[in-house]
Amino acid sequence: MLERETLELPDGDFLHLDWLKQDQKNPEQPLLLCLHGLEGSSRSNYAGDLIAEAEKAGWNAVVMHFRGCSGEPNRLPRSYHAGDTADLASVLKHLRKTGVGENKIFATGYSLGGNLLLKYLGEQGSSSAIDAAAAISVPFDLYGAALTVEQGFSQRYQAYLMRKMLGRVRSKSHQVEGLIDLEKALNSRNFIEFDEYVTAPLHGFEGHRDYYNRCSSIGFLKDIGVPTLVLHSRDDPFLHPRYLPTEEQISASTRVEFSDHGGHVGFIAQKKPWQPMMWLPRRILQHFGEQL
């Protein structure tokens, strides 16, 4: 059972941290920070798998919920987005002030959370409060990802997430009315329209292209200065391979492992149909173990 903490943010809003606390007094033990994906939470399967692996290793771990994703609506007439590194910085500042002391902080981000993590790392360079990182199934080019999910089977993923995102807008309609065009927002058919009518106006962007241009992690990869593992599959339904970063766009401290198969946050090694091996969390902790 994870222990929940409410973190008050500088702007008067809040977010929730879900903790796995084991031996906090051991300064040699790292803290594993997990950033979930779009409309995810600590209840997402990939987060649960990572926490379980951290528990087996004897590490402390914490899931950072983005605003409004923990099951409780946030206070302000805004939400979260793929480039909101200010909230991540607030969490890291808080973690450094709490029981982790001088412990290393290892961060893992999935999908949208991975994009946010890589953007933060690029912004901070070698001054990052994170000692090592792993980013999984990242939509490096947000506009490219929005175009990808408009094609073929990927549209099903988009439709599922759109229902959840529009439900969030409806629940906050009394707060955001007058700040966005509610009619256009609630009639959004895809990510591009949602980001044009909701994400951009609520978070200070001039439109969806401005948001995508300023927040896509692909423009920050070359400035990452801490050991970072990036895992991505070429059959990821959220990003066509044409939008993947090139070697010239990646820093020397970043290791990118592309696979032909793995889908989106998948990467399951299967011995038998009824005995899947969860390869992904083991690979992540292996990477972090190399940094100890």
Packing angle, helices 45-57 and 279-289, rounded to 10: 50
- Number of separate helices (H) and strands (E) present in the chain: 11, 10
Residues spanned by CATH 3.40.50.1820 within the chain? 3-141+217-289
Mean pLDDT over 151-165 rounds to 96
Average per-residue pLDDT in the chain?
Answer: 94
Mean pLDDT over 143-170 rounds to 97
CB 82 within 8 A of CB 199: no
Q: Is the pLDDT of residue 275 over 50?
A: no
Q: Is the pLDDT of residue 223 over 90?
A: yes
Residue 177 corresponds to which tokens in the numbers above? 């009315």
Percent of the residues in the chain that have a pLDDT greater than 70, as a whole number: 93
| CATH class label, 3-141+217-289 | alpha beta
Annotated active-site positions, please? 111, 236, 264
pLDDT score, position 29:
86
pLDDT score, position 22:
86
Q: Is the pLDDT of residue 174 over 90?
A: yes
| Residue 174: its H or E element | helix 173-176
pLDDT score, position 100:
66
Mean pLDDT over 247-257 rounds to 97
Least-confidence region, from 21-30, 65-74, 144-153, 224-233: 21-30
What letter does residue 144 receive in the DSSP assignment? Answer: H
Q: What is the pLDDT of residues 92-111, one digit of tens each?
A: 999 988 766 568 999 999 99
Confidence of residue 145 (pLDDT cuts 50, 70, 90): very high
Mean pLDDT over 170-193 rounds to 97
- Taking the C-alpha atoms of residue 132 and residue 119, their distance in angstroms, rounded to an integer, is 14
Q: What is the pLDDT of residues 65-101, one digit of tens each?
A: 999 999 999 999 999 999 999 999 999 999 988 766 5
pLDDT score, position 268:
57
Least-confidence region, from 192-201, 212-221, 264-273: 264-273
Q: Is the pLDDT of residue 48 over 80?
A: yes
| Residue 57: its H or E element | helix 45-57
pLDDT score, position 101:
58
Residue 157 corresponds to which tokens in the numbers above? 């993923």
Q: Is the pLDDT of residue 162 over 50?
A: yes
pLDDT score, position 28:
77
- Taking the C-alpha atoms of residue 74 and residue 67, their distance in angstroms, rounded to an integer, is 6
Least-confidence region, from 19-23, 215-219, 233-237: 19-23
pLDDT score, position 26:
72
